[in-house]
Copies of this chain bind each other. A is one copy, B any other.
Amino acid sequence: MNTVEILRSHDIKPTIVRMKVYEYLYSMKNHPTADTIYKSLSPEIPTLSKTSVYNTTTLFLTKNLIRPVTIEENEIRYDADTTDHGHFKCTACSEVYDFNADLSKMEHNLSEDFQINERQLLFKGICSYCKRS
């Protein structure tokens, strides 16, 4: 599926801004903030504004095309990978790593009457590269 089809399948009308933002999120697979997206796409789309980045990411979130990731409490990050996985943030180099984690295994201590819509697992510490140096 190309970008146009992916957006359409989520009931999102494709525009150049939306396509570029989605392609950035999907190809980079980092967990950018609105500011990072804005700075990265600005050279390509000189008229882009941060408001439009927020408009776009908020739309994607409501259409369940991407997921919010909370790494630090003062900023929203976005992830185009909507499968369950954990995040590890190195507090030394600030890098965020993905790792596999089946979060459904963690549900058994929660009542079945609770309907879970979103799962986030976050570890913080020192990554192997920073530990060595």
Q: Does A120 belong to the interface (CB within 8 Å)?
A: yes
Q: How many copies does the complex hold?
A: 2
Which residues of chain A (71-101) have a CB below 8 Å from chain B? Answer: 72-76, 86, 88, 91, 97, 99-101
B101 touches A106 (CB 8 A): yes
A126 interface neighbour in B101, B115, B119, Cβ under 8 Å: B115
Complex Cα spacing A71 to B123, Å:
15
Residues of B contacting A73 in the complex (Cβ-Cβ under 8 angstroms): 68, 70, 73-76
**Partner-B contacts on A (CB < 8 A):** 68, 70, 72-76, 86, 88, 91, 97, 99-101, 103, 105-107, 109-111, 113-128, 131
Please name 22 pairs of A and B residues whose Cβ atoms are closer than 8 Å in the assembled complex, sorted by A.
A86-B109, A86-B110, A88-B116, A97-B114, A99-B110, A101-B109, A106-B106, A110-B123, A113-B127, A113-B128, A115-B126, A116-B123, A116-B124, A116-B125, A117-B124, A118-B122, A119-B122, A119-B123, A119-B124, A120-B120, A120-B121, A120-B123
